[in-house]
Chains A and B, each alone.
Chain A
Amino acid sequence: MNEEVRLMKGNEAIAHAAIRYGVDGYFGYPITPQSEILETLEAEMPWETTGMVVLQAESEVSSINMVYGGASTGAAVMTSSSSPGVSLMQEGISYIAAAELPALIVNVMRGGPGLGTIHPSQSDYFQATKGGGHGDYHLIVLAPATVQEMADFVGLGFDLAFKYRTPAMILADGIVGQMMEKVVLPPARPRRTPEQIAKQCPWAAAGKHKRQHRNVVTSLELDSAIMEKNNERFQRTYAEIERNEVRYETYFTDDCDYLMVAFGSVARICLKSIEEARKRGVKIGLVRPVTLWPFPYDAISQIAEHVKGILVVELNAGQMIEDVRLAVSHDLPVYHFGRMGGIVPNPLEVLNAFTQKFNL
């Protein structure tokens, strides 16, 4: 057995990956189904090894504003929560986006709206991809489907956040947070030194040193002419992200007559129904968007050219389906199948929904 292969929950993988990436600080407040992230960090005590700060704040509002403060200094900082907690963070997320700061926010979604249930959901798709807070901003949104991706997207999320100076989000669901499977953790590396941070983040408010000017980090700009210029700069960044960072996976799309589109662990449920459908001679393909923003419009658009219809499967009432419809320019049936409130459909249920929608 390869000693590097471990068995752990998705939530635990995020915590371990954060320590190994050299994250400077985690600030969070416990909530099911993601409490193992904070618990694992507390158990690992990285402040004794890498010097990473792990702090249980008094609320999600405090957590996100601690992230705002930490990010302002060029530190690699993160928080995690589940749906109701992430709602509380939206003001802070908008400020972080407006201040052009890198940060990582993890949302392990549970059934809503309101305090809802503790069981898996994907009903925060709109909130994550369309801007849950106020103003014209975007998060880079990564949707993991495996425990391995839970680990890998910590590093990817931070790399993208620092590259584009914009916050990134891991949008997971209770299934991939709670399930255990095999994972190879990324190699451990030390945290950046203050010199390395100063070099990587010349904008950081980490001391004036020998510079002529002070670095000021703020989201406030009372001169509208300047604020419009700021917005134009944000939009140029978003356009660049849309050009460079679309990620998705396709399965069985070369010969498919129909297409399913699903993200996160639901894509895996769909894959099993597709395997069963193929035994019955029905050729279905699958697109799994890995980045929910930027969304893989072009990939879906191209595959849509040669299929008879699309079924979008989500743990919600129909959210990503709006982006799938935007990707389809011709007259093609695009249907939705979803369960809500924490109920997860099994592969047979998905297949039955598919055959029913397309009268097969």
Chain B
Amino acid sequence: MTQEIIIAGFGGQGVLSMGKILAYAALMDDKEVTWMPSYGPEQRGGTANVTVILSDNSISSPVLDTYDIAVILNQQSLDKFESHIKPGGLLIYDPSGIHHRPTRDDISIIEVDAMTATIEMGNPKGYNMILLGALIEARPMVGIEAVLRGLKKALPERHHHLIPANEQALRRGMELVKQA
């Protein structure tokens, strides 16, 4: 089983760290994994994306032309990646950054209003974890236990006190998908 995933949005939305925590979760589950960021000045604004590949087998190319799953956080990224989702694939997007909704009818599309949820929770830094929760609920490629262990591994110890708030956000994201 291989999952080829693109996560894309604005720099600062937590795109790279969402991918990183997913990658660490895959590590915890003994899967093969690659995490390939778009690197450069994007972290100061502009679009950022990361390709994460999870597999039970060894992974060839870390660079892809099509994806099983796209997690999309802004219009530019939707415009860029919607047509690159494999037929039968999955698109998760946050409507708050989207003016023109996706039009594909040969993929599954889940709208996750993570922006509203993160404001309601009063936890703006949990934004990307809501989306990660949504992702692992929609496609259970790794369990939440693995994600929590991954978080512990990915975060320096001085930030471990933030893990409960992140867990809350993850579970909220899972709930949002269950309700969708």
- Say yes or no for A291: interface residue by CB 8 A criterion: no
Nearest-neighbor residue (CB-CB) of A178 within chain B: B39
CB-based contact B62/A175 at 8 Å: yes
> What chain B residues lie within 8 Å of A119 (beta carbons)?
39-40
> What chain A residues lie within 8 Å of B62 (beta carbons)?
175, 179, 181, 265, 268
Nearest-neighbor residue (CB-CB) of A177 within chain B: B39
Q: Number of B interface residues, CB 8 Å? A: 24
The 8 A CB mask of B136-169 against A (1 = contact, 0 = none) is: 0000000000000000010000000000000000
Known pairs A5-B27, A7-B27, A32-B40; A179 contacts B35 (CB<8 A): yes
Nearest-neighbor residue (CB-CB) of A7 within chain B: B27
Q: A43 CB to closest chain B CB, in angstroms?
A: 10
CB-based contact A268/B39 at 8 Å: no
Question: Which chain A residues (117-132) contact chain B, with CB distance < 8 Å?
Answer: 118-119
CB-based contact A7/B24 at 8 Å: yes
Known pairs A175-B36, A180-B20; A347 contacts B28 (CB<8 A): no
Nearest-neighbor residue (CB-CB) of A269 within chain B: B61
CB-based contact B30/A1 at 8 Å: yes
Question: Which chain A residues (1-35) contact chain B, with CB distance < 8 Å?
Answer: 1-2, 5-7, 32-33
CB-based contact A179/B34 at 8 Å: yes
B63-71, B89-97, B110-118, B125-133: which one contacts chain A?
A: B63-71
Question: Which chain A residues (67-105) contact chain B, with CB distance < 8 Å?
Answer: none
> What chain A residues lie within 8 Å of B64 (beta carbons)?
272, 346-347
- Say yes or no for A271: interface residue by CB 8 A criterion: yes
Known pairs A1-B28, A182-B33; A174 contacts B63 (CB<8 A): no
Nearest-neighbor residue (CB-CB) of A286 within chain B: B60
Known pairs A7-B24, A180-B20; A275 contacts B37 (CB<8 A): no
Question: Which chain B residues (1-42) contact chain A, with CB distance < 8 Å?
Answer: 20, 23-24, 27-30, 32-37, 39-40
- Provide the bound-state CA to CA distance between A349 and B23, in Å: 26
Nearest-neighbor residue (CB-CB) of A118 within chain B: B40
- Say yes or no for A241: interface residue by CB 8 A criterion: no
- Say yes or no for A344: interface residue by CB 8 A criterion: yes
- Say yes or no for A45: interface residue by CB 8 A criterion: no
- Provide the bound-state CA to CA distance between A197 and B127, in Å: 54
CB-based contact B63/A180 at 8 Å: no
Known pairs A7-B27, A179-B34, A180-B23; A272 contacts B61 (CB<8 A): yes
> What chain B residues lie within 8 Å of A345 (beta carbons)?
63
> What chain A residues lie within 8 Å of B60 (beta carbons)?
268-269, 271-272, 275
> What chain A residues lie within 8 Å of B63 (beta carbons)?
175, 265, 269, 344-347
- Provide the bound-state CA to CA distance between A224 and B139, in Å: 71
> What chain B residues lie within 8 Å of A265 (beta carbons)?
62-63
Known pairs A1-B28, A346-B64, A348-B66; A180 contacts B39 (CB<8 A): no
> What chain A residues lie within 8 Å of B61 (beta carbons)?
268-269, 271-273, 346-347
- Provide the bound-state CA to CA distance between A119 and B42, in Å: 12
- Provide the bound-state CA to CA distance between A346 and B24, in Å: 25
- Provide the bound-state CA to CA distance between A174 and B62, in Å: 12
> What chain B residues lie within 8 Å of A275 (beta carbons)?
60
- Provide the bound-state CA to CA distance between A180 and B22, in Å: 12
> What chain A residues lie within 8 Å of B65 (beta carbons)?
346-349
- Provide the bound-state CA to CA distance between A269 and B153, in Å: 29
The 8 A CB mask of B83-122 against A (1 = contact, 0 = none) is: 0000000000000000000000000000000000000000
Q: Which of A180, A272, A344 has the most CB of B within 10 A?
A: A180
Q: B59 CB to closest chain A CB, in angstroms?
A: 8
> What chain B residues lie within 8 Å of A272 (beta carbons)?
60-61, 64
- Provide the bound-state CA to CA distance between A180 and B36, in Å: 7
> What chain B residues lie within 8 Å of A271 (beta carbons)?
60-61
- Provide the bound-state CA to CA distance between A280 and B74, in Å: 36
Q: A276 CB to closest chain B CB, in angstroms?
A: 9
- Provide the bound-state CA to CA distance between A349 and B64, in Å: 10
- Provide the bound-state CA to CA distance between A346 and B36, in Å: 13
Q: Which of B30, B34, B37, B60 has the most CB of A within 10 A?
A: B60
Q: A266 CB to closest chain B CB, in angstroms?
A: 9
- Provide the bound-state CA to CA distance between A329 and B130, in Å: 59
Q: A278 CB to closest chain B CB, in angstroms?
A: 12
> What chain A residues lie within 8 Å of B24 (beta carbons)?
7
CB-based contact A118/B39 at 8 Å: yes
Question: Which chain A residues (23-66) contact chain B, with CB distance < 8 Å?
Answer: 32-33
Return 12 A-B CB contacts under 8 Å, by A number.
Answer: A1-B27, A118-B40, A175-B36, A178-B37, A180-B34, A181-B59, A182-B33, A265-B63, A269-B61, A272-B61, A272-B64, A347-B64
**Which 5 A-B pairs have CB atoms at the shortest separation, nearest pair first?**
A272-B61, A348-B65, A346-B65, A180-B35, A271-B60
User: Which A residues lie at the B interface, using CB under 8 A?
Assistant: 1-2, 5-7, 32-33, 118-119, 174-175, 178-182, 265, 268-269, 271-273, 275, 344-349
